[in-house]
Amino acid sequence: MMTNSGALKNLLDLSVGEIEALGSKMGWPRYRAGQVLKWIYQNGVSSISEMTNLSKVDRDRLQAVATICRVPPSVPEVADDGTTKFLGLLDDGLAVETVMIPEGHRRTVCVSSQVGCTLDCGFCLTAQIGFRRNLAPREIVDQVWNARRLLGKDESISSLVFMGMGEPLLNFESLAEAIRRLTNVDWGMGFSPRRITVSTAGWVPRFQDLQQLGVNLAISLNATTTHQRHLLMPAINKRFDLMQLIEASRAYAKRSDRRLTFEYVLIARVNDSLDDAKRLIKLLNGIRCKVNLIPFNEYSGSPYQRPSQDTIDLFQQAVRKGGLDVYLRRSRGDDVLGACGQLGRMAAEAAHIVPTRLLRKVSAHAQP
Ligand code: SF4
């Protein structure tokens, strides 16, 4: 990982072990590495000179070999409902989006794990920019710090959801390291793992690894037949089809003391019929779970539409009658494209990335 300070090590790129090793090279007692980590993750300092419980000599010695390079945020955009969206401006000119959603004095932060995404879910704006790269742990954690800096005195972050750009389980090592830094209570940001949810399109082989991190799992289901899932989420469905996903979810739920969440983006005339509701009930039968219905948020260029409110209500009632715990997720921040499935446009514009679908269209037009 490059830093913008030449040969100096960015402390945020180092693991706990590496910071301890750096300290022991300088002859420090072990607890001093803990002090440095606290400054970084609990106080969010941006320079070594702010570490005031280190002596001036120790700060100077640390500054001779290391620095702190944080991810600078863009000016935030705030929607009418208070939903706030901002970019993290990365060293290589790319950008990543983060959204903070208000609920009274509390805030939910929607965190990204990749720039773009390798998957190609048809309803998702992020998919249109293609895959650029995985985020490093520090680039994930700094999204949370940048969100925290926007809070007022009596506000706090109540939960973190990995539902931003990218498929988190395809960047698992960085995700796991970021979660360790976010949850450590001795030197980290101290979030309870119970307040962190990781949402996946269905990358089944990492379910067990994720479970060991103690966080919640949400599965972006969106379909009640393999054919429908292939239409909406072709890349993931080719690897793990609907039945494999349901079986893996069932096994996960059996091992877990938490309820699984299934996310279901409701799309007009695609997956919003009463037959879909019946199939959904059957598929999830016996799995301890809840279902979040997310009415599709239309954006320009998308082939899909949001169902009418009547259709949404009928779908919800039918699923509820079938014995499932089902919630309707209110769309938040759609005037700044901060609603579900709508991350990506700001980041694409900031990094001058042309959405891949547009590229495809351009090259199709160029064919003789
Ligand atoms: S919905 Fe999630 S997994 Fe699918 S393309 Fe978008 S970001 Fe990737």
pLDDT score of 145: 97
Task: Count other C-beta atoms under 10 Å from residue 110's C-beta.
Answer: 28
Question: At residue 68, does pLDDT exceed 70?
Answer: yes
Ligand 1 mean position to 134 CA, how many Å? Answer: 14
User: Does residue 4 fall inside a structural domain?
Assistant: no
Residues 21 and 124 in one domain: no
Report the run of H or E that residue 69 belongs to, with start and end: none
For 121, residues 6+ apart whose C-beta sits below 8 A from its C-beta are: 127, 201, 220, 222, 232, 233, 235, 236, 341
Quote the distance between the C-alpha of residue 142 and its chain's center: 13
Residue whose entry in the numeric block shows the structure tokens 């009928």: 314
Q: State the CATH number of the domain containing residue 185.
A: 3.20.20.70
Instruction: Please write the tens of the pLDDT for every residue from 94-138.
Output: 999 999 999 888 899 999 999 999 998 988 888 888 899 999 999
Residues 256 and 353 in one domain: yes
**Cα distance from N-terminal residue to C-terminal residue, the chain:** 43
- pLDDT above 90 coverage of the chain, percent: 78
Residues 136 and 269 in one domain: yes
Ligand 1 mean position to 21 CA, how many Å? Answer: 38
167 Cβ closer than 6 Å to some ligand 1 atom: yes
121 Cβ closer than 6 Å to some ligand 1 atom: yes
Ligand 1 mean position to 200 CA, how many Å? Answer: 8
∠ CA 361-363-364, rounded to 5° = 60
Residues 244 and 290 in one domain: yes
166 Cβ closer than 6 Å to some ligand 1 atom: yes
Residues 164 and 289 in one domain: yes
Dihedral angle at the C-alpha atoms of 61, 62, 64, 65, nearest 10 degrees?
130
Instruction: Write out the residue range of the structural domain in which residue 34 sits.
Output: 9-67
Average pLDDT, the chain: 89
Q: Give yes or no for a contact between 178 and 141, defined as CB atoms under 8 angstroms apart.
A: yes
Residues 85 and 210 in one domain: yes
* Rounded-to-integer distance, Cα 219 and Cα 46, Å: 36
User: Does residue 368 fall inside a structural domain?
Assistant: no
**Catalytic annotation present for 97:** yes
Mean pLDDT of 282-292: 96
Q: Give yes or no for a contact between 148 and 99, defined as CB atoms under 8 angstroms apart.
A: no
Q: Which of 20, 69, 97, 289 is catalytic?
A: 97
Ligand 1 mean position to 23 CA, how many Å? Answer: 41
In the beta sheet, which residues pair with residue 160?
A: 109, 196
Q: In total, how many domains does the chain have?
A: 2
Q: Which atom of ligand 1 is nearest to the CA of 166?
A: 7
Instruction: Please write the tens of the pLDDT for every residue from 76-104.
Output: 999 898 999 999 999 999 999 999 999 88
Ligand 1 mean position to 167 CA, how many Å? Answer: 6
Among candidate residues 230, 320, 224, 235, the one with its CA nearest the CA of residue 266: 224
Give the Å distances, CA to CA, from 151 to 101, 108, 148, 239: 11, 12, 5, 41
Residues 208 and 293 in one domain: yes
pLDDT score of 104: 84
Q: State the CATH number of the domain containing residue 58.
A: 1.10.150.530
Q: Which of 110, 124, 289, 340 is catalytic?
A: 340
Per-residue tokens: 13? 């790129």
Residues 60 and 198 in one domain: no
Residues 195 and 84 in one domain: yes
126 Cβ closer than 6 Å to some ligand 1 atom: yes
Strand, helix or coil for residue 73: strand
User: Does residue 364 fall inside a structural domain?
Assistant: no
Q: Are strands 156-162 and 196-200 parallel, antiparallel or unpaired?
A: parallel
Among candidate residues 304, 297, 293, 292, the one with its CA nearest the CA of residue 343: 297
Q: Which atom of ligand 1 is nearest to the CA of 164?
A: 7
**Catalytic annotation present for 124:** no
pLDDT score of 365: 32
User: Does residue 2 fall inside a structural domain?
Assistant: no
Query: To test ligand 1's pocket by mutation, which of 121, 239, 343 has the most ligand atoms within 8 angstroms of CB?
Result: 121
pLDDT score of 298: 84
Residues 83 and 61 in one domain: no
pLDDT score of 288: 96
Residues 63 and 117 in one domain: no
Question: At residue 47, does pLDDT exceed 60?
Answer: yes
Residues 61 and 98 in one domain: no
